[in-house]
Amino acid sequence: MANSAQAKKRARQAAAQRLSNMAQRSAYRTAVKKVRKAIEAGDKAAAQAALNENMAVMDSLADKRIVHKNKAARHKSRLSGAIKAMA
């Protein structure tokens, strides 16, 4: 456990930051699920709209380094590929 005032403050800050990161990571996963759900529904226009709407969330969290930039790029690529593969 932290002994100095500085270490106690850093522990408080780390806990608050962890909660913030968890909430943002959850929003990222929800954004990906929304696009996947639109793809499974079979409506190409709705799926493309969902991807465009949620791409900003993915880019934002990659810029903040909450998720790795390559992970965000991989998800965007696979989701757009799935939309293009729709008949």
Q: Which of 58, 50, 56, 53 is nearest to 82 (CA)?
A: 50
Note the pLDDT of residue 87.
76
> What does each of the 87 residues of the chain score in pLDDT, given as a tens digit?
789 999 999 999 999 999 999 999 999 999 999 999 999 999 999 999 999 999 999 999 999 999 999 999 999 999 999 999 997
CATH architecture of 5-84: Up-down Bundle (1.20)
CB neighbourhood size of 8 (10 A): 12
